[in-house]
Structure 1
Amino acid sequence: MTLTPAIYVQGEGSYWLAHVPVLRGCIASGTTRDGAIANARRAFRAYLELLDTRGVSVEHWKEMDPDTFEVRDTPSDRVLPEDIGPLEEHELRDFLHQFEASRAALISLVRDIPEEEIERKPTETMWSVREALEHVMLTEAEFLSRLEKWPADPYNTLQAIHRLVFQRFTVMEPADTALDHVVMGRRWTTRKIMRRMLEHEFEHLVHIQEIVAALEATRPSEVR
């Protein structure tokens, strides 16, 4: 599938999201439409750096200039043109490499944070690291449920969800790669699920980086 690189924007009021599906997983937010678009152009470069640092080949994207990407409104069903159609073999492999890289970055970020800091909210309006991690886990489970009926067994750690994603995507049947159906009133395709999983992982890696920085900034000087 060859499509012109574009940034897709959605939102209202003071919360806007900008997706960059040419680099599946790249997403940014902003308090204005223009702010989200500008942040998405920066996020493209940041996400490439993350992947490159973690050993994922970025040859396909490194010559792209996000400043030249056109801007479009996100379709009303939130399925982007890049989300439609059966997967090519390399796309599944690329997804798994990207998912592995982003999860490694996330685990590296939080691994050595003391338990009391994991639980602490830096400010009244920010999540704690634990709350952010729980959100990542629960949302990934929700995304997986869009591929099939979700089992009753609970998965309560990041790595359990990570292993589950790998297991699910490495045993996909041909019909799974061309999924296009409606679940609870919203349209989902295999490509969209892959894009949203990677976007969500990267979005909250950045989010948790902000929480960690705020924890450091608000920690009493005697314990720094």
Structure 2
Amino acid sequence: MRPIGPNSASSACSRAMRASRSARSTVSSGHARRRSTPSVSAERAPRAAPHRSSGTVPALAGETAMRYHVYLEEDETGRCMAHVPDLAGCTATGPDRAAALAALPAAIRAYLRWCGEHGEPLPTDEPVEVAVAEVVRGCRPWRRGGAHALFSVDRAPLGDAELRAYLRRMSYARGDLLALVRGLSPHTLDASPPGLPSVRAVLAHLIETEAWYLSRLGQRIPAVYDGTDIVQRLVDSRARAVEVILRLSPRQRDLVYVPTENPSDNPEEGWTLRKVLRCCLEHELSHLQELQARFSDSLPERHELG
């Protein structure tokens, strides 16, 4: 991802992220060469109470609740993306807040069905209730190079059980993606429908973006698709990503990182491991849905995600 022009210093997204940057310590960039300035700086996240769910479905930590807390990010036009941290990767986007929230119940039910297909016995028939817990303005995660909100829930300590749940659901998404594209002919992989990238380009983008997300934490995995077997690259890149994530110490899991190398359009954007895992899932599920829709005429009916 290439950086684009920074946001105005007066944006709410910038102000919120700048407010979190006191008492920062240096984190290694992961480069073999020594640099005169670090590519990532970080601070210890506040020791907030662990995130608790609020819905009728068990959260990642296994807690039960009455309804879902929703976290919103909005750009200057009002376009809105709604996130459900209890259902990591579940999102809905709309031209405004009302549209995003209206689309969310269907997205939640689809997400629960998807988890059920992978052996997680989550109820899918319960009424869905949502409550807005936080709004961050001035971020544009749907744009290439756009900043992603660092929600308060992204700062919560990440324990082993939740980390395993994130990785498990990431494996569901990658497995579904591999099942969809494995065996496609080179012609199908490289065909570009009008106004859309080829399947190969989408898959390469997923590999490169996941590497970019991990670089927000000062970690490096191969990012550039070299033209080799794209399916094997999807397998290998995810294995490398999981290896890097599991190698992070408990202290590194609790840091808030502010990358200075290849930043988003907000150079003050903060990242945590929890935010990286959330974004990896959201991004992959979004493209999985896109590819499922593209092949819907030739595949058995599949549900849509977020």
Moved more, 25-34 or 162-171: 25-34
Instruction: Give the percent of matched residue pairs that are identical in Structure 1 and Structure 2.
Output: 29
| Amino acid paired to 2:288 | L
Is 1:38–2:96 an aligned residue pair?
A: no
Equivalent of residue 149 in structure 2, options 74, 78, 82 = 78
Alignment match, 1:116: 187
Q: For residues 163-211 of structure 1, what are the alpha-carbon distances to aligned partners after superposition, in whole Å with 9 as ceiling and x for unaligned?
A: 0121122222111211212113210011111111111111111111122
Q: For each residue in 1:57-103, what CA deviation from the matched residue of structure 2 results, as whole angstroms up to 9, or x when unmatched?
A: 354x768744x112342355711122112212210110111111110
Structure 2: distance between partners of 1:199 and 1:64: 23
Asked if 1:22 corresponds to 2:86, the answer is yes
CA distance in 2, matches of 1:128, 1:36: 28
Instruction: Find the aligned partners of 1:209 and 1:80 in 2 and give their Cα distance.
Output: 30
Counterpart-to-counterpart distance in 2, 1:82 and 1:193: 12
> 2:130 corresponds to which residue?
69
Aligned 1:48-59 pairs, distance under 5 A: 48-55=112-119, 57-59=120-122
Secondary structure in structure 2 of the residue aligned to 1:99: helix
Determine if contact 2:257/2:270 at 8 Å carries over to the other structure.
yes
How many Å separate the matches in 1 of 2:155 and 2:124? 24
- Of 170, 174, 188 in structure 1, the residue corresponding to residue 250 of structure 2 is 174
Per the TM alignment, residue 160 of structure 1 is displaced from its structure 2 partner at its CA by 1.8
Partner of 1:150: 220
Aligned AA (2:86) = V
Note the C-alpha offset of 1:3: 5.0
Distance 1:144 1:89 in 2: 18
Note closer, same or farther for the CA distance 1:149–1:129 as it changes in structure 2 (3 Å cut): same
Unaligned runs of 5+ in 2: 1-50, 55-68, 139-147, 226-232, 261-266, 299-306
Aligned alpha-carbon RMSD (Å): 2.7
More helix by share: 1
Structure 1 or 2, whichever has the larger Rg, is: 2
1:127 aligns with 2:197: yes
CA distance in 1, matches of 2:256, 2:115: 28
1:8 partner SS: strand
Measure, in 2, the Cα distance between the counterparts of 1:75 and 1:3: 23
- Per-residue CA distance 1:4-62 (angstroms, 9 max, x = gap): 4124242455954222212111123334443332333222221222222123x354x76
* SS in structure 1 at match of 2:278: helix
Q: Does residue 210 of structure 2 align to residue 140 of structure 1?
A: yes
Q: In structure 2, what is the Cα distance between the partners aligned to 1:149 and 1:177?
A: 12
* 1:127 shift after superposition: 2.1
Per the alignment, residue 220 of structure 1 pairs with: none
**Change in CA separation of 1:30 and 1:126 when aligned onto 2, cut-off 3 Å:** farther
**Residues 14 and 30 of structure 1 are in contact (CA less than 8 Å); yes or no, is this contact kept in structure 2?**
no
The runs of 4+ residues in structure 1 deviating greater than 4 Å are 12-15, 61-65
Change (3 A) 1:197 1:30: same
Q: Deviations over 1:137-159 (max 9, x none)?
A: 111000111122436x5563211
2:296 alignment partner, SS class: helix
Query: For residue 111 of structure 2, what is the aligned residue in structure 1?
Result: 47
Q: Secondary structure at the match of 2:271?
A: strand
**Preserved contact between residue 51 and residue 102 of structure 1 (Cα < 8 Å):** no
Q: Structure 1: state its 5+ residue gaps.
A: 217-224
Amino acid in the other structure paired with 1:204: H
Structure 2 length normalisation: TM-score? 0.61
